[in-house]
Amino acid sequence: MKYYENWKKYYADFWTRLFDFNGTSTRPAYWSVEITNTLVYAIIIMFISLITKTSILEILSMNTNNNLAFTLFCLITIAYGILSLALTTRRLHDTNNSGWWIVGTFIPFRIGDIVSIYVFILTLWPSRKNKWRQS
């Protein structure tokens, strides 16, 4: 029951601080929201598949002739990415790293992939004393 109460608090905090790029987010707060959002994202993809009668593999590979499925998938994916930006920035702050690391994930030619892996590893680190923490 305690986990559920914490999850509610973390998820409410996520929505109230949606565009807050200052401060920090703890490891449990970050991962509770990320896992929940990923599950919601997967359910929405399944729903798009059912509505448009397109296979999930075609949607995920973006190899579909169904324009509605393609458009909905792109919109949901962009929304998911935007929703994660502030949360990931706050999580990076909690590990005493700059949120600007996220910009590196957009670099093409596999460099962005390497930076993405590094940012993922940073989100796994425990909280550290840092300049972003609000007392």
Summarised one tens digit per residue, pLDDT across range 21-67 is: 888 888 899 999 999 999 999 999 999 999 999 988 988 888 888 88
Average pLDDT over residues 74-97: 89
Give the pLDDT mean for 112-132.
Answer: 83
Picking from 32, 31, 14, the residue whose alpha carbon sits closest to that of residue 124 is 31
At residue 36, the pLDDT reads: 93
**DSSP per-residue letters across 38-84:** HHHHHHHHHHHHHHHT--HHHHHTT--S-HHHHHHHHHHHHHHHHHH
Residue 59: domain span: 2-124
How high is the pLDDT of residue 134?
65
CA atoms within 13 A on the CB side of 107: 14
Query: Cβ contacts of residue 86 below 8 Å, gap of 6+?
Result: 17, 18, 19, 20, 21
Position 66 in a domain: yes
In a domain, 82, yes or no: yes
Q: Does residue 131 belong to any structural domain of this protein?
A: no
The reply to whether 68 falls in a domain is yes
What is the pLDDT of the chain when averaged over all its residues? 87
Per the structure, how many domains does the chain have? 1
Q: Which of 17, 132, 34, 23 is nearest to 81 (CA)?
A: 34
Decide if 130 is inside a domain.
no
Could you report the per-residue pLDDT of 106-118, keeping only the tens digit for each?
888 888 889 889 8
Reported pTM: 0.81
- Whether 134 maps to a domain, the answer reads no
Report yes or no on 135 lying in a domain. no
